[in-house]
Amino acid sequence: MVVAGLAVVGLVGCDSGESTSKGATTTAKPVLWNPCTEISDAALTEAGVDPATEEKGVAGVPQPGWEICGWQGSNYALTVYTTDKPVSYFEQKPGNVNFADVTIAERQGSQFRVQGDTRNLWCDVVFPSEQGVVQLAVGNSAIADGPLEDPCVYLQRAGAVLVPTFPK
């Protein structure tokens, strides 16, 4: 999950969404859907990860403007991110490459890889939602035994279980 965390570090900023002036009230951004609390342990187990391995944020550190939660499986790490940024933010971000339209659990998304991942160890899909996007990222586990399949194949299987739990 550290690699996934590193990938998102460039995505996060310090925008709190609040502004004030003399006598004005503040307007906070809406609360983001939280994958740590909204995805059930049963769904995580069915997706092939261990709910007990939950890690919030990037290496345990919350990121402003994001809700991030990750879990480990025997062969893969899986992370779910939410943010109010649109899909176009991900498409325009330098280093995100090989975009392709995908459908997982009857939901349209945009699959991509991160440039520099020459061994194709990671696969990401962003799904538009009313609040912005939900991103599902899958990466090969550093402690996996034996050869691994393409992480995008695993993402399709895990996504079939998890995507129906994502907000629309």
**94 or 3: which leads in pLDDT:** 94
**112 or 150: which leads in pLDDT:** 112
Rounded mean pLDDT, 133-138:
97
At residue 25, does pLDDT exceed 60? Answer: no
| pLDDT given at position 146 | 62
Place of tokens 């696969």: 123
Place of tokens 């859907």: 33
- Decide the pairing of beta strands 50-56 and 66-72: antiparallel
Q: Band of the pLDDT at 148, cuts 50, 70, 90?
A: confident
Rounded mean pLDDT, 8-20:
39
At residue 150, does pLDDT exceed 90? Answer: no
| SS3 track for 151-162 | HHHHHHHHHHHH
| pLDDT given at position 15 | 40
